Amino acid sequence: MSFTGIQCLPVGFRVENLIHLDLEDTSKLSSIVGICALVNLKVLRLLRSNVWCGPNTLEELQFLEHLEILTIGIIYGLGLDQFFKSHKLMRCTQALAVKSCQLESSNVSLLASMEKVHELLFNGCTFSDIKMDVACNRSKTVPKMHVSRTSHALLYKNVKA
């Protein structure tokens, strides 16, 4: 369903055998309410959709017992706090976009050291006291940083050392 004009999940969207749902690059998608009904879902890709997850959506994602791979966008500090409380979501996240958050060095280091993360994108975030050595020491990969002046985004991509 990626690159489609889908705006929300259909009411009563229940496909018990669905294990992979790709909603990346769906700029009109604004809600994934009811996603927890997809009980066998193993892969959920939401990056670059218009879904920016807050605490309620993240709580719903935790009900996906079989989830192994997640790409997601989180907005504001409350969503990020909820994300940090879920070891399950942190463990299966491959790509994460964070928007409009105040980030401390410890939060960035924690994000950079997540098991499966390959891509971290920061947009409209403020940072305080970033220490890259902490992130590099915890991970077997070295974060590559790219700063875009036009979008005010900070991008890390993990590159094997």
User: Has residue 123 been placed in a domain?
Assistant: yes
Would you call 79 exposed, middle or buried from its count of C-beta atoms within 10 A (0-12, 13-18, 19+)?
Answer: buried
Domain count of the fold of the chain: 1
User: Has residue 106 been placed in a domain?
Assistant: yes
User: Has residue 1 been placed in a domain?
Assistant: no
User: Has residue 4 been placed in a domain?
Assistant: no
User: What CATH number should be reported for the domain holding residue 60?
Assistant: 3.80.10
User: Has residue 89 been placed in a domain?
Assistant: yes
N-term to C-term CA, the chain: 34
User: Has residue 11 been placed in a domain?
Assistant: no
Quickly list DSSP for the chain: -TTS---BPPTT---TT--EEE-TT-TT--B-TTGGG-TT--EEE-TTSS--B-HHHHHHHTT-TT--EEEEEEEHHHHHHHHHH-HHHHHHEEEEEEES-EEEHHHHHHHHT-SS--EEEEES-EEES--HHHHHHHSSEEEEEEEETTTTEEEEEEEE-
How high is the pLDDT of residue 132?
Answer: 52
pLDDT in tens, the chain (161 residues): 777 888 887 777 667 789 999 999 998 998 898 899 899 999 999 999 999 999 999 999 999 999 999 999 998 777 898 999 999 999 999 999 988 888 887 787 788 778 898 888 888 888 776 655 444 444 444 344 433 333 344 555 543 33
User: Has residue 5 been placed in a domain?
Assistant: no
User: Has residue 2 been placed in a domain?
Assistant: no
How high is the pLDDT of residue 159?
Answer: 36
For residue 68, the enclosing domain spans 20-160
How high is the pLDDT of residue 157?
Answer: 52
